[in-house]
Structure 1
């Protein structure tokens, strides 16, 4: 019998987005959200032009976007040790290295990396990051699902028989160890970062409208022969959750192949806590996934009570989903992007007033 899930509520939560498809500098943000630009111009105290006396916008040393996702999560309980956890690493060796450097991330203080699932737009920067981080003061733990495929590919609609491309290979366990990481294999849900970050196990698929990745393909070997098979469900995908005192759960779903409603239902059933913020790819882009947008938005805005305070649709969410979410949530739908920083302060007294979430019909 598995032990009961444990997730320690935190007093301080901060996330910095290190890789995302989008860069967003101009939109008005809610309290606690900060664009990349003021972090460079104010927080980092950059040198000023000797003649004008004004800081220069140094685009050579600002973040760049890429098709992938990576978020640096900071958690802390009541002034105790701060924990830094990296959720995914983006698609390539360059974007994570550049963006972590320009955001002045203390990479040697990152204790753990969570790989949400085995797709290279989430794992491609891992080896680069590990080499940049080094093994001091101790090797970085790399939290992975055991079911690493040899290869994955993408097939096109409407028949999903024509495979248009194979994704680049995910790092092997041996490569991770050689780069200085310590592989930590988990098919089950568990907590890390001194209990302040929850990493889910396989996500139950309970909704009728969230059918995974229609064009997902996997290479397998059977009886000595290799071949492609349909794999829409991507069962190695996992989400992460943080519980902020007085606010509720912050959920990271890097790609939502399971469906973000399935993700949230599992998190709520696991912890019986309201959802404060939903972050990451909602995987609603593309014509074949458009029919999923209305029931997804309806669940988030009307069926879940209380509804989330903030939705940050990133990476693979798609333009139409963002428009639909903004129509329901207004400024609660935040156009997040690479370089943005979000800080949420806990409220111990306010935590007593939180009510368990319910699903309505």
Structure 2
């Protein structure tokens, strides 16, 4: 039985670590609660240089960027168990594994992977991640750990394509390349994953994380993925709307909704509208790819920025345009939101403690 979306719990603790993103950002000043990768290495897992006695920048083993996305979500309610949920897995067999090891992620504690949609830059690291986790679970058991979740659930949309391709402008009718194949259901199971295949909204992580169903496409200027193609019955068919895409969110006490929008093929405005209509909570953070990169999508930047900065009231405290957002969209959002537009990237961590007392004073969201 699929849990109702109304069962979503408001969390007292929320953290996110960006394990794969296109960008690496070490230098820019970040708002409170955000921590650069380098600072985490030096303060939490320092390697001391024997010559000088100070921490050593072990660049050989720090994180790498890649064209894709993966984020580790941590949630807990009260004194309850902390849940570790992985949202997407990056584009390849190497980047996520390297970055998990670099950041000393407790991979054996992750008991669910949410795949936002069937595109290789989000699914490509899944099998290598599962293999690495199996080794970590075995090592933990060897050392006597008894609280390690043995099972890991892979949360998937049922409509897995045989192949997807790219048809560039101006006509979007000639496929110039296909994307790497997504993992099959059988491959996932062979690597120890338990399938949870569904296309409706549901809660996971003991009710602390919501995974959406189909995202309504209602915003007129958000036209999906131009040039998206799907191999069907021996030939390519246009597939702009990528209907298997889903978002995830967390509701933080005293803060509001933290929305993970993956690639925004549905349009980030459509994603935010759907989340607000379902939960009637203000938006605290919008995180992920906004899919506004490239000249043909520049016309979407201004109305998207206007929606997030002006039409959505209150505006999000933070917007983190990542992955496929593009430089032009990032600069427009920075101009509109100031430091509310955060230059997040691979290796950066954010954590926040909920505020139950303030929660009752949060305003109801309004969309003009």
TM-score > 0.5 by shorter chain: yes
Q: How many aligned residue pairs are there?
A: 355
- Structure 2 equivalent of residue 40 of structure 1: 41
Distance 1:301 1:236 in 2: 28
User: Once the 2 structures are TM-superposed, how far is the Cα of residue 138 of structure 1 from its aligned partner?
Assistant: 1.7
Q: TM-score normalised to the size of structure 1? A: 0.97
- Of residues 322, 343, 365 in structure 2, which corresponds to 1:357? 365
Instruction: Check whether the contact 2:155–2:195 (CA below 8 A) recurs between aligned residues.
Output: yes
Instruction: Check whether the contact 2:63–2:98 (CA below 8 A) recurs between aligned residues.
Output: yes
Distance 2:6 2:215 in 1: 14
- Structure 1 equivalent of residue 129 of structure 2: 129
User: Once the 2 structures are TM-superposed, how far is the Cα of residue 4 of structure 1 from its aligned partner?
Assistant: 5.2
Distance 2:40 2:47 in 1: 14
- Of residues 205, 215, 219 in structure 2, which corresponds to 1:203? 215
- Structure 2 equivalent of residue 148 of structure 1: 160
Deviation by residue 1:101-127 (Cα, 9 ceiling, x = unmatched): 010001110010000000000000000
5+ residue gaps in structure 1? Answer: none
- Structure 2 equivalent of residue 282 of structure 1: 290
SS of the residue 1:5 aligns to: helix
- Structure 1 equivalent of residue 77 of structure 2: 77
Instruction: Check whether the contact 1:5–1:189 (CA below 8 A) recurs between aligned residues.
Output: no
Q: TM-score normalised to the size of structure 2? A: 0.95
SS of the residue 1:335 aligns to: coil
Deviation by residue 1:181-205 (Cα, 9 ceiling, x = unmatched): 0010011000000000000001000
- Structure 1 equivalent of residue 141 of structure 2: none
Q: Please tell me whether residue 244 in structure 1 is matched to residue 252 in structure 2.
A: yes
User: Once the 2 structures are TM-superposed, how far is the Cα of residue 51 of structure 1 from its aligned partner?
Assistant: 2.2
Q: CA RMSD in A?
A: 1.2
Instruction: Check whether the contact 1:311–1:333 (CA below 8 A) recurs between aligned residues.
Output: yes
- Structure 2 equivalent of residue 62 of structure 1: 62
Runs (4+) off by over 6 Å: none
Deviation by residue 1:184-237 (Cα, 9 ceiling, x = unmatched): 00110000000000000010001000000011000001xxxx000000000000
User: Once the 2 structures are TM-superposed, how far is the Cα of residue 7 of structure 1 from its aligned partner?
Assistant: 1.0
SS of the residue 2:236 aligns to: strand
SS of the residue 1:153 aligns to: strand
Distance 1:48 1:346 in 2: 35
Structure 1 residues 5 and 40, CA gap change in structure 2 (3 angstroms)? same
Distance 1:6 1:306 in 2: 24
